[in-house]
Amino acid sequence: MAVAIAAGRVWRPNRGLSQAAVLLLWRPGARGLARSHPHRQQQQFSSLDDKPQFPGASAEFIDKLEFIQPNVISGIPIYRVMDRQGQIINPSEDPHLPKEKVLKLYKSMTLLNTMDRILYESQRQGRISFYMTNYGEEGTHVGSAAALDNTDLVFGQYREAGVLMYRDYPLELFMAQCYGNISDLGKGRQMPVHYGCKERHFVTISSPLATQIPQAVGAAYAAKRANANRVVICYFGEGAASEGDAHAGFNFAATLECPIIFFCRNNGYAISTPTSEQYRGDGIAARGPGYGIMSIRVDGNDVFAVTAATGGPKARASSLSTTGACGIMMPLHAVGLWHLVSHQHELSTAPKPKGTTKPILESYLNSLFLGHSRYQLCIHQDAVRREKPQSNLNRESLI
């Protein structure tokens, strides 16, 4: 709710907004707000004008007392390309990715999943001290990585190994970092899963949550100034979005017009804390427009949707050219698999509830994760399958 008291200086907004009077949360429109600078828009107006003259606000007057209810518009809708059976719903939204890319996406997801299983077991056996799996979120990693250029800078939180995997980071180096052995490029300084690779433009993971957010914004600003034709992508979970650093990052990105994509992976839990205890309001995506950030909500289990949202002309072009920041929220719910995703926490602290671990983990490992399996189904229906049966790919990853 904005109550603005008129001050000395007046800022006249772009009146083209009046057509978008009903504020659709998922279509903030070309408000021109991000481009205009208040101190450049001093305008004379006659005292007969009864227009709002509040600095920093752009709206009409209203004489009816009405509060905006937090969820009155029933949630930002979730963009998807495939249905749960892997069918493309709307043929015009089919990204028509080249076969090699489709296969590479699948191979990366499968390889990541296999590596996760091995390293998870390694932690339970005491071979490595700590591990975080990526189960269920493989689609978000590879989908977004596929949409970026190889030189785009990546700031992750700790569950983005698939991005590195997609950029062909060798398995040996993943392992070396986890073991902290002589081959580790990080020289054994950090706990497992704290990967980093300068050549692949993946900034080293840092333990405290959300510290990467303001840093990513700074990097984006520098990239803009250098005319490097790069965007920055910044990943974080819905829990980390509660940190003060997240607020700082979003606000800086918008006001300083930085070419950055904020990518929120929402898996419903922060260790044991469900989203109902993490925030109220319509998730993280709904915060974007509040900061002046173009936003979308995407089904994180749908690789094609993730690729389209991250790299489609809208996201990338607008990141590079004008308003800058773009926010993508990826809910990763999957019917019936909430409880699995909730065990997706780090392995050296939080214990697993007794009696629930084994059956869930098994059912997951048997069926692969929904995003993955939906993608399987999609390839299944595609001609690609006839050239390379996916069971071969699955087996290859285990070698």
Partner 1 sequence: MAFVAAAAGWLLRLRAAGAEGHWRRFHGVGLARGFLHPSATVEDAAQRRQVAHFTFQPDPEPREYGQTQKMNLFQSITSALDNSLAKDPTAVIFGEDVAFGGVFRCTVGLRDKYGKDRVFNTPLCEQGIVGFGIGIAVTGATAIAEIQFADYIFPAFDQVVIPRSPFQAKGLLLSCIEDKNPCIFFEPKILYRAAAEQVPIEPYNIPLSQAEVIQEGSDVTLVAWGTQVHVIREVASMAKEKLGVSCEVIDLRTIIPWDVDTVCKSVIKTGRLLISHEAPLTGGFASEISSTVQEECFLNLEAPISRVCGYDTPFPHIFEPFYIPDKWKCYDALRKMINY
Which residues lie near partner 1 (CB under 8 A)?
Answer: 124-127, 129-130, 179-181, 184, 188-191, 207-209, 239-240, 242-244, 270-273, 277-279, 348-351
Smallest gap from Cβ 67 to partner 1, in A, equals 23
Here the tokens at position 128 are 């490595």
Smallest gap from Cβ 353 to partner 1, in A, equals 8
Nearest to partner 1 of 307, 342 (CB atom):
342
Nearest to partner 1 of 208, 313 (CB atom):
208
At position 324, the amino acid (one-letter code) is G
Nearest to partner 1 of 210, 337 (CB atom):
210
Smallest gap from Cβ 191 to partner 1, in A, equals 5
Q: State the sign of the Cα–Cα–Cα–Cα dihedral 86, 167, 133, 207.
A: negative
Rg (CA), the chain: 23
Query: Of 21, 197, 107, 8, which is closest to residue 393 (Cα–Cα)?
Result: 107
Nearest to partner 1 of 41, 181 (CB atom):
181
Smallest gap from Cβ 16 to partner 1, in A, equals 37
Concatenate the DSSP letters of all residues of 28-87 into one string. -----TTT--GGG------TT------TT-------S--PPPTTSS----EE-SB-TTS-
Rounded alpha-carbon distances, angstroms, from residue 63 to 58, 66, 96, 195? 16, 9, 51, 56
Nearest to partner 1 of 197, 368 (CB atom):
197
Nearest to partner 1 of 164, 209 (CB atom):
209
Q: How many CA atoms lie within 13 A of 124 on its CB side?
A: 10
Smallest gap from Cβ 130 to partner 1, in A, equals 7
Rounded alpha-carbon distances, angstroms, from residue 366 to 95, 110, 187, 359? 29, 13, 36, 10
Query: Of 168, 172, 175, 212, which is closest to residue 193 (Cα–Cα)?
Result: 175
Chain centroid offset of residue 339 CA: 21
Strands 269-270 and 273-274: antiparallel
Smallest gap from Cβ 260 to partner 1, in A, equals 21
Query: Of 156, 255, 142, 261, which is closest to residue 201 (Cα–Cα)?
Result: 156
Smallest gap from Cβ 266 to partner 1, in A, equals 13
Nearest to partner 1 of 126, 359 (CB atom):
126
Nearest to partner 1 of 228, 361 (CB atom):
361
Smallest gap from Cβ 286 to partner 1, in A, equals 15
Tokens 């689609």 belong to 139
Rounded alpha-carbon distances, angstroms, from residue 246 to 129, 177, 201, 234, 262? 29, 27, 22, 11, 10
